Amino acid sequence: MSFYKYLFSPKLFKEYDGSKDVYEPGALEKYGDQLLAALNLMWSFGYYTSPLLITFLYRRGYLVADSVGTLAKFTTGIGLLVAVSLCMRGLGRSMNVVYVRFAECLENAKRHDRVPESKNQIRRYDFDFKHWPVDFTVTSSVQRAQVSRNKPFWISSLPCQIAAYLAIHTFGIRMIYPGSVKLLQHYIQPMLLQGRTKLMTEERGKRNKVKTSDGNEIDTVFIDNRNKSSNGRTLVFCSEGNAGFYEIGIMSTPIDLQYSVLGWNHPGFAGSSGSPYPDQDQNAVDAVMQFAITDLGFTPDNIILYGWSIGGYSTLYAASQYPDVKGVVLDATFDDVLQLAIPRMPEGLSNIVKIAIRDYVNLNNTELISQYNGPVMLIRRTEDEIICSEDNNLATNRGNFLLIHMLKFRFPNIFKADQENLAKDILGKPIEFMRDDSDELCLSLLMSYLTDNGNNGTSRSYPIEIGAEYSSEQRDSMAKFLLRKHLQDFKSTHCTPLPAEYFKSPWEIPNDTDFVFT
């Protein structure tokens, strides 16, 4: 391999050779990399503080014709420093036996990208994912069911619209998705590497790069337990939170239960390219779902979608596009991100916040959950400090509103105004899951209704019109039953890992043919 290629070859983190040690670069490579990393950090800092930096330079008189020579000398010096750093790094890599072996393996994989053995060879290494060959490319994207919005334009709102656009496209998207901030990723890189190493060595994970319809490249990992347990025949598709990564995220819970598990990182997170705007996130989750079905061989009815926090949006979007999935598990998620954003921002900025969210980051789970007819389980953290609009007030947990909205849509004749108020009262405190005497009756009524009213005895078609002739007491009883069947409480804060006993396949109204009363 020519010396030139070593100048721009990827950074190597680890060789999976049975040892726990990370790759140790030589002195030249190490110091060259450190210089380039420092320059990159300076560039990132300058980019994010550019308005202040430009103002400072202007006031000091550097942005005038007389200062061109000074600026030219400065940029030339930086350029020479970059060139020297690249040469140091390239020379160091070309002299390192481990790196040379890796570089040759990567070159071979790129030349023979359709040969499985070549791909398996590079999986022995952990390196900068930008250079990983693409394993799966989406050829067509699923058709989206988008809610149309009529946005009348008022000249008086133009300043707010401009401010909203600038806010979202600078710091706003990073406030909503802090995991996309490169400085944070640099800080937690050792933890990500450690988590990835555990997945690869202990769980025999397989890393893949999935290319989306909009050209982003998504970092995924697959744990195949199909030959280990009956749970392994079901794939749990994990969508992380706004600062979550599959390396250190929610995958551990279904892995402990011996499910097959597929994790992925949002666009702009760790090895995934792009930015976590809703359209890019939708394309990403669609691409990874197609990868799971086409390449990994799981049918939708053997896939459980599992989302935590803001990952609930990705999960529900996938459910709306793949309605035949086995079920959806939502942990510590919300109904509408706007309801969380408004209380956390100054009141004077509320109009700008509304425009920014609705026009550019409209993570509205209530719209999506109405487009999915399959079974759903919500897990609510009773001490959640993030998803509640008010601190220490369980009644303001936004998961409550998502659950009520879903049940109102699915059972409109059960959840009338009185039952909606009853549900809010019940959800204002930790819900009791003791079996109620009326449970068997409620279940029998639901099953009988489905049998007598088509649907082939299944609940995959909503809304269900049961309850039109019910008394208020009967509606109350059925409402309590449905709340218990769709919600689990977990006494915990937002970021505590979910214990395995709380992860269950979502409840669905059973068929007459496969249910026996006990």
| pLDDT tens, residue by residue, 227-239 | 999 999 999 999 9
Supply the pLDDT for residue 224.
Answer: 97
Q: Which pLDDT band, with edges at 50, 70 and 90, does 397 fall under?
A: very high
Q: Which of 34-38, 189-193, 457-461, 490-494 shows the lowest mean pLDDT across its residues?
A: 457-461
420, pLDDT greater than 60: yes
Buried b (16+ CB within 10 A) or exposed e, 50-88: eeeeeeeeeeeeeeeeeeeeeeeeeeeeeeeeeeebbeb
517, pLDDT greater than 50: no
Question: Tell me: the pLDDT tens digits for 81-112?
Answer: 999 999 999 999 999 999 999 999 999 888 88
Supply the pLDDT for residue 130.
Answer: 94
461, pLDDT greater than 80: yes
Instruction: Look over the chain and give the mean of its residue pLDDT values, rounded to a whole number.
Output: 90
DSSP for 449-506 reads: HHHHTSGGG---S----TTTT--HHHHHHHHHHHHHHHEEEE-S-TTSPPPGGG--PP
Is-above-0.85 flag for pTM? Answer: yes
Task: Give the right CATH number for 135-140+153-362 from 3.40.50.300, 3.40.50.620, 3.40.50.1820, 3.90.730.10.
Answer: 3.40.50.1820
Question: Tell me: the pLDDT tens digits for 291-346?
Answer: 999 999 999 999 999 999 999 999 999 999 999 999 999 999 999 999 999 998 88
Report domain extents, the chain: 3-134, 135-140+153-362, 373-517
DSSP for 114-137 reads: T-HHHHHHHTTEEE-GGGSPP-EE
**Pick the residue with more confidence: 279 or 348?**
279
Supply the pLDDT for residue 513.
Answer: 53
Supply the pLDDT for residue 366.
Answer: 97
Q: Which of 148-152, 278-282, 299-303, 506-510 shows the lowest mean pLDDT across its residues?
A: 148-152
Supply the pLDDT for residue 54.
Answer: 82
Peptide bond into 463 cis (omega under 30): yes
